[in-house]
Chains A and B, each alone.
Chain A
Amino acid sequence: AQTVTQSQPEMSVQEAETVTLSCTYDTSENNYYLFWYKQPPSRQMILVIRQEAYKQQNATENRFSVNFQKAAKSFSLKISDSQLGDTAMYFCAFMRASNTGKLIFGQGTTLQVKP
């Protein structure tokens, strides 16, 4: 069974600085997808970034980028130039490249951006 682990329950960063959130996963699959979702206090789940396992290039989306290490089964999220609006719970998620569409989520990391 696949598992996703986020070892940092809480983190904080000063506005305009850079922060990295960690995520590791366990799977025997070779083809899969990885995601970072953000959940602000409004509880709306918002997609931050997506990575296909077959792609060696790390995904980027404006201030958000990932460091995908397939052999180490690691998928960290880097937020550059942190903004107050980045304050939220961040979830790492795994999906097999099959026909089920099931997302398996980590426990989440609460990020506080301080002014």
Chain B
Amino acid sequence: SAVISQKPSRDICQRGTSLTIQCQVDSQVTMMFWYRQQPGQSLTLIATANQGSEATYESGFVIDKFPISRPNLTFSTLTVSNMSPEDSSIYLCSVAYGGAGDTQYFGPGTRLTVL
């Protein structure tokens, strides 16, 4: 399985600011995803990070709020923009080596608290 790292592991931010979360994989992967896990809740897919093109967002998530980059096959970033306390969550990236039916492996997550 992949070795996936995320930075930062946690952060406390003021409302109205933005935070960029990085996801790095130790080898090239076909697909990268970003999920949100609100406190005490399950995981919800935010978007699929597409290499060299715009991310594909799920219903309820928009690019202005969660801009995503994927400049190559091993790296992606998620920005949480103009944060409010409701954005306090764990943000996780996941990767799949093969196609969409392939198993996804998750990074360690970034715990974000917005004051």
Contacts and interface: CB of A to CB of B under 8 A. Distances in A.
A42 B90 CA distance: 12
A102 interface: yes
Query: Chain A interface mostly helix, strand, loop or mixed?
Result: loop
A75 to B, nearest CB: 15
B96 A45 contact: no
Contacts, number: 60
Interface residues of B, number: 27
Contacts of A98: 100-101
Nearest to B40: A108
Nearest to A89: B42
- Interface size class on chain A is 20 to 34
Nearest to B111: A43
A103 B101 contact: no
B100 A99 contact: yes
A30 interface: no
Interface stretch (B16-24, B69-77, B102-110): B102-110
B105 A47 contact: yes
A47 B2 CA distance: 12
Interface string A93-106: 00101111111011
Contacts of B1: 47
A108 B101 contact: no
B34 to A, nearest CB: 12
A45 to B, nearest CB: 4
19 contacts: A33-B101, A35-B103, A37-B106, A43-B90, A43-B111, A45-B94, A45-B109, A47-B1, A91-B43, A98-B101, A99-B100, A101-B33, A101-B96, A101-B102, A101-B104, A102-B58, A103-B104, A105-B42, A108-B42
